[in-house]
Amino acid sequence: MDTFGKKIAALRKAGKMSQAELAKALNTSTSVIGRYERDEMVPSIDAAKKIAVTLNTTVGYLLGEVEQADVFKDPDMLKRLSEIQKMDKEDKGHILSVIDGFIKSIKLKNIAAL
């Protein structure tokens, strides 16, 4: 699993951004960005949020809480999750059970296709 620093470096490079450009966007120095990327220094919460926004990802991804950099960036998915969150416990349970069933079915179909 990649570290916080390795993820920053990979996202920065994927976005064709130099350390200097990232430093400028974050109002810091290139040496600080280098230290983040080498895991020699951990950014503050506010700095981590700014890094995530600048690199078009989430703090959750940078921290290793989710495996995909853009899992919470899809507005349609966020809208649906928000609607589910508003439901009472029983309705939410039913919706999540249906989603779990579809996910399991698709995984089994994909395994069978191999």
CATH number at residue 30: 1.10.260.40
Taking only the tens place, the pLDDT of each residue in 69-85 is 665 666 777 788 889 98
Residue 91 lies in a domain: yes
Residue 70 lies in a domain: no
pLDDT at 80: 86
**What is d(CA 109, CA 114) in angstroms, rounded to the nearest whole number?**
9
Q: Which residue has the tokens 């919706």?
A: 95
Residue 35 lies in a domain: yes
Taking only the tens place, the pLDDT of each residue in 15-24 is 999 999 999 9
Going by C-alpha positions, the residue among 61, 5, 3 that lies closest to residue 36 is 5
Same domain, 11 and 46: yes
pLDDT at 46 over 90: yes
Parent domain of 88? 75-113
Q: What is the pTM of this model?
A: 0.62
The tally of domains found in the chain comes to 2
